[in-house]
Amino acid sequence: MGEKDTMLEIKNLHAKINGREILKGLDLTIRTGEVHSIMGPNGSGKSTLAQVLAGRESYEVTAGEVLYRGKNLLEMSPEERACEGVFLAFQYPVEIPGVNNTYFLKAAVNAVRKYRGQEELDAMDFLALMRSKMKLLDMDEGLLNRSVNEGFSGGEKKRNEIFHMAVLQPALAILDETDSGLDIDAMKIVANGVNALRSPDRAMLVVTHYQRLLNYIVPDFVHVLVDGRIVRSGGKDLALELEAQGYAGIEGEAAQLAKV
Amino acid sequence: MSTSTSTIEAFANQEYKYGFVTDVEVDAAPRGLNEDIIRLISAKKKEPAFMLEWRLKAYRHWARLQQTDAEPKWANISYPPIDYQDIVYYSAPKPKKALKSLDEVDPEVRRTFEKLGIPLEEQKRFSGVAVDAVFDSVSVATTFKGKLAELGIIFCSFSEAVQNHPDLVRKYLGSVVPYTDNFFAALNAAVFSDGSFCYIPKGVRCPMELSTYFRINAADTGQFERTLIVAEEGAYVSYLEGCTAPIRDSNQLHAAVVELVAHDDAHIKYSTIQNWYPGDKEGKGGIYNFVTKRGKCVGRNSHISWTQVETGSAITWKYPSCILQGDNSVGEFYSVALTNNYQQADTGTKMIHIGKNTKSTIVSKGISAGHGQNTYRGMVKIQKGARGARNYTQCDSLLIGEKCGAHTFPYIEVKNATARMEHEASTSKIGEDQIFYCNQRGISKEDAVSLIVGGFCRQVFKELPMEFAVEAQKLLSVSLEGSVG
């Protein structure tokens, strides 16, 4: 692995919600082109990390810093982060009744373009962009004309998230439990979409509870998050080890670590 | 503070951009109301005797109601007592001479309408819209009259109709909303000064949108206009009204009456974009909009459809209704009502099913922000003879912020067992998660709110004529601006 630019640098991150501390000194560095996976038991802080990086205001960062392409990410509003190229595929995509999915994406793309000083896309150019990305995910055109996530099945929602990602072309993509609620076929489709978006210019952070997604999206690095801290890091084999042993062993180690 | 509260709270504070005053010489009646004022108004308009008689009867009825304190008090609104003797009931821009063409309209008045985006030159209008412009109490210009006349369509100010088509006026005036209907309808009948009149002859499909633009300019003046639309057998017309007023500290009264008559197979589509001055952020000033609107489906298979987007006025009291008398007739009501700051709205509809197989649809979308109070009040009545009647009602409320309110009062009265009724209602808040989801895709908070509100209103917007659907969406964004921050 040669010298690559650092995309994201998290140092000693502490965050709490409703007065409860969830992240307790998390460190993580992700370089451009890499795919990292964060695994961990329920309640370890995986989703909190994803939400904090995206800028959800209900989480309070109490200590630490996050540099994104050298800039202080924590000072940016959620929409600035998005415009700077940070994308979050939601674990629970939100329904917006009455707002057409295509119209929504056009508003998003043009907001980002405006922020970057680019000309806004007109309807024709935008439609061409949509069509080219639809193939990638085997999307049914019907989903584009329905309201954002309204009445979508679990699989359709997740696929729609990856479709948003394909259209917005982020520099850093955070996938929060993208496999939850998917059957194996749907998971393959989503994973194929994600793999198609892997690129030397893009980094990904894949948050997941189960190893199975990582059979399809093979990460460069795997980190185990326990009780708000990364307790082990390794290559893709670490995921397999976890699958075999469960989180219990590692949690034991972590408890010991905390005592020391 | 969480995003939804803080975001949402600042979203309401854009200045009302139609609040300017036009400086024109006016011909106004003295303040107050008595029989002499009624006679004065009637004389100014050179009305035939039957009109004066009708006005006087209405006035006497109103005066009796007023003595017995019969101003309606049942609505979910509150305001200090109105002093009816402190209002000017007639005000008109002073004409230099009789107008022979549109070019002779007072340049100040013309500029007013241009500022409002309503140029009175025909070639500058949307090609598909004819406009009647009403300034304070009188109609100042009507465009495309000649073109419409070729098809036998009459589209003119009410005063002209009284002069040129007295038989039609006499036949239909008060036939849907009699002066005895309610307090404000009686007041309007006594003092109304102008409005629009529209008649579509048998079998004619009106080729353009007809539109009236109402502007209150003078201070302490009430605006009492009356609109009458008659569609003969098989006729079709789509009609739109828009309204604005200057910013003033005192409240102004607007008590209009609209009557629609649809004969066999006729179809009337009536759309309103109401943007009267709503008062300031503290609730000072603004228009009291006390309006009676009703359509009568007289003929078989007739169809009346009301679409309203109500964003203005300090207080709105308004129930566009349908009397479904003809068999198979259809009534529809699509409404978006927005209240922000200290605005109050009590609005909805009445659907009275009399004929067989009559059908009505009600879709009401209430949006409350700031300290706004929004009430839906609707009545669906199925009479004994209305076999096979159907009604579908959907009533949704959206709350923005913590200090506003939404209220729903549906009344259902069924006297025929074959009726089928459906009622759906929902109340929701703009969720922090929805706004965050939009933000995460790069969309700012304000744009997120207007996107979400636009989605909420989509069912109603799609009923508006296309040019106005865009305008309505913009108006809604502007009216909400600042309520999120």
Q: How far apart are CA A14 and CA A229, in angstroms?
A: 9
Place of tokens 């059957």: A183
Lowest-pLDDT range of B48-52, B220-224, B440-444 = B220-224
The rounded distance, in Å, linking the Cα atoms of B132 and B146 is 13
User: pLDDT at position B6, please?
Assistant: 40
> Nearest residue of B to residue A116 by CA position?
B442
Read off the pLDDT of each residue in B355-384 and give the average, rounded to a whole number.
Answer: 93
Task: Look at B442 and A90 and tell me if their CB atoms are within 8 Å.
Answer: no
Q: What is the pLDDT of residues B287-306, one digit of tens each?
A: 888 899 999 999 999 999 99
Residue type at B97 in one-letter notation: K
Return d(Cα A219, Cα A175) in angstroms, integer: 13
State in Å, rounded, how far the first CA of chain A is from the last one. 33
A255 touches chain B (CB under 8 A): no
Residue A132 has pLDDT above 90, yes or no: no
What distance in Å separates the CA atoms of residue A56 and residue B436, rounded to the nearest whole number?
7
Whether B62 shows a pLDDT value over 90: the answer reads yes
Between chains, do B439 and A112 touch, taking CB under 8 Å as contact?
no
pLDDT single digits (tens) A196-248: 999 999 999 999 988 888 999 999 999 999 999 999 999 988 888 888 887 77
Amino acid at B186: A
Instruction: Search chain B and give the residue with CA nearest A89.
Output: B440
pLDDT digit string (tens) for B324-335?
A: 999 999 999 999
Mean pLDDT (whole number) for A22-38: 95
Q: How far apart are CA A64 and CA A45, in angstroms?
A: 16
Gyration radius (Cα) of chain B, Å: 22
A90 touches chain B (CB under 8 A): yes
pLDDT confidence band for B13 (50 / 70 / 90): very low
Q: Comparing A48 with B462, which gets the higher pLDDT?
A: A48
Helix, strand, coil % in chain B, rounded to nearest 5: 25, 35, 40
Number of helical (H) and strand (E) elements in chain B, helices listed first:
11, 23
**Does A97 contact chain B (CB < 8 Å)?**
yes
pLDDT at residue A241, rounded to an integer: 85
pLDDT level of residue B314 (50, 70, 90 thresholds): confident
A236 near A248, Cβ under 8 Å? Answer: no
Q: What is the pLDDT of residues B214-246, one digit of tens each?
A: 766 666 667 788 999 999 999 999 998 876 666
Binary contact (B443, A107; C-beta < 8 A): yes
- Between the alpha carbon of residue B403 and those of residues A24, A217, A233, B13, B397, the distances in Å are 37, 48, 49, 15, 14
* A96 neighbourhood in chain B, CB within 8 Å: 434, 437-438, 451-452, 455
What pLDDT is recorded for position B105? 65
Answer whether B252's CB lies under 8 Å from B214's CB: no
Residue B327 burial (10 A CB sphere; 0-12, 13-18, 19+):
buried
Contact: A104, B452; criterion CB under 8 Å: no
- Interface residues from chain B to A (CB-CB < 8 Å): 2-3, 431-434, 436-445, 447, 451-452, 454-459
pTM attached to this predicted model:
0.81
* Interchain pair B433, A96: CB under 8 A: no
Contacts of A55 in chain B (CB under 8 A): 439-440
The residue among B257, B457, B416, B198 whose CA lies nearest residue B324 is: B416
pLDDT tens digits for A162-192?
999 999 999 999 999 988 888 888 888 889 8
* Structural domain boundaries in chain A: 6-259
Q: What is the pLDDT of residue B330?
A: 97
Averaged pLDDT of chain B? 83
| Beta-strand relationship, B373-382 and B344-353 | parallel
pLDDT category, A255, cuts 50, 70, 90? low
- Output the CATH code of domain A6-259: 3.40.50.300
What proportions of chain A, in percent to the nearest 5, are helix, strand and coil?
40, 30, 30
User: How far does the CA of residue B470 sit from the closest CA of chain A (Å)?
Assistant: 14
How many alpha carbons fall within 13 Å on the CB side of residue B306? 33
Tell me how close the Cα of B275 comes to any Cα of chain A, in angstroms: 24
pLDDT at A87: 97
Helical packing angle, B35-44 and B49-67, nearest 10° = 150
Geometric angle at alpha carbon B258, from B254 and B259, rounded to 5°: 160
Sign of CA dihedral B214, B218, B219, B221: negative
Across the interface, which of B433, B439, B457 has its CB nearest the CB of A79? B439
Flag whether residue A121 sits within 8 Å of chain B, measured between CB atoms.
no
The torsion angles phi and psi of A244, rounded to 5 degrees, stand at -70, -40
